Chain A
Amino acid sequence: MPDAPGLELIRGEIERDCPGAVLATSFDRNQAALIVDPARNLDVLRWLKEQPGQRYTFLSSLHAADYLPAQPRFAVHYELINRDRVERIRVKAMLDERRPAGPVSDTSPAPTGAGPASSPPAGGELPEIDSCVELFPTAEAQEREVFDFFGIVFRGHPNLTRILMPDDYVGWPQRRDFPIGGEPVTFTYSEARYD
């Protein structure tokens, strides 16, 4: 784990090479995090992976969180590891709900024809961010999972479809405003005919 001064050094060096990409740093409970502009996430990831002094080449986990009611609402987290020095760093890209991040490109992923909510609709209704599959092939299934549960579209992903929910499921289950579901348990006292 780079410590707090180390984290600031990293930020300074990224500022030199990719100015404006890192919005903030956070060193909380002994874990270092860089909060980046979602339009520049690939620049930061590539810098961290390929810079000779850094070499965070292993993407351990790609996941998202929903911070409703705080805004911006979504955050996509990238957990990176430098296996030689055994250091972890987290890159966090915050996304708003309906504003796509960065320029909206024409190349939306081809629809699979499996259902209305299976592949993402073109036109920027869902938050978008660039996919890092070329840098880290491990992100393929993990980005699909984030899309499945939060509705965050990853531009450039080869096959962005639902992975864990059924193909024709409507809704983004792990968003905070999605109901938990299930059915209420009927107890004896709540059933009138058992009086």
Chain B
Amino acid sequence: MEVERRSLREKQLAARDMLRGDLEGEDLERYVEERVVTTTFEKVQNWARANSIFPLTFGLACCAIEAPISIVTARYDLARFGAEALRASPRQADLIILSGRVSIKMAPVVRRLYDQMLEPKWVMAMGACSSSAGMFSNYAVVQGADKFMPVDIYVPGCPPRPEAVLYGFTKLQRKIMGNPDQSWRRRYNAYGTEEWARGGPRSEPSPEAAKAYAEAKRSVENLREETGEPSLA
């Protein structure tokens, strides 16, 4: 519902009256309405999960110097996203950042760590090597971590800048909150190019994915109507 904005002075006086117990009637109702939000339990849960992720202190190779070591330092502060508490034990962690190349000797270890993590858990494939083996197309590196474990978000780079990792982190937060960023499909108005829309490998999206997708598409179109931006088609 629409609430007209009041000046700071008015709000201060209302707060003072409330503390004294002097607010009555319509003023009291309005005061309460301004402080109550209704939502679904899921949304609150997702909001809480997204803003207090516990990453696992897991570093494999070069990307480990940028994350998780460099993003917790003062310049690129991970604490402002609520993820300062890096846990060493996989049982206590939510997010595993695959920072570095996954060699064939290490792959079962990583899979075991992933299995030891408790739901809900997310995986960020950081860097080119864990996304797709990077430049190492050879016998010793698993060609992409998604060969043996599900990955939620891929951050390209060799190594990606800490800002890139943090950007990936914010996208992961949006994904957790149920509002995934369709990125280039939104920018170039390319809805309809997904694999499932063209009859690709898994021809139907999962119900949650379909719902999130429809919501994202609708919100983009609403935004375009409101601001009067021409659609890019």
Contacts and interface: CB of A to CB of B under 8 A. Distances in A.
B143 A173 contact: no
B137 A183 contact: yes
Nearest to B201: A193
Interface stretch (A20-28, A43-51, A65-73, A174-182): A174-182
Interface of A: 165-166, 173, 178-183, 185, 193
B104 A182 contact: no
For chain B, the bracket of interface size reads 10 to 19
Most buried by B among A179, A182, A193: A182
B140 A173 contact: yes
A181 B105 contact: no
A165 B138 contact: no
Contacts of A183: 137, 143
Contact of B140 (A179, A181, A185, A193): A181
Interface in B171-206: 200
Contacts of B97: none
A178 B139 CA distance: 10
A179 B139 contact: yes
Nearest to A162: B105
B98 interface: no
Contacts of B139: 173, 178-182
Nearest to A165: B105
A145 to B, nearest CB: 14
B137 A185 contact: yes
B133 interface: yes
Interface string B103-138: 011000000000000000000000000000100111
23 contacts: A165-B105, A166-B104, A166-B105, A173-B139, A173-B140, A178-B139, A180-B137, A180-B138, A180-B139, A181-B137, A181-B138, A181-B139, A181-B140, A182-B136, A182-B137, A182-B138, A182-B139, A182-B141, A182-B143, A183-B137, A183-B143, A185-B137, A193-B200
Contacts of A166: 104-105
Contacts of B105: 165-166
Interface string B84-106: 00000000000000000000110
A180 B133 CA distance: 14
Contacts of A165: 105, 140
Nearest to B200: A193
Interface string B123-166: 00000000001001111110100000000000000000000000
Contacts of A193: 200
Nearest to A182: B137
A59 to B, nearest CB: 27
Given A180-B138, A182-B137, A193-B200, 18 more contacts: A165-B105, A165-B140, A166-B104, A166-B105, A173-B139, A173-B140, A178-B139, A180-B137, A180-B139, A181-B137, A181-B139, A182-B133, A182-B138, A182-B139, A182-B141, A182-B143, A183-B137, A183-B143
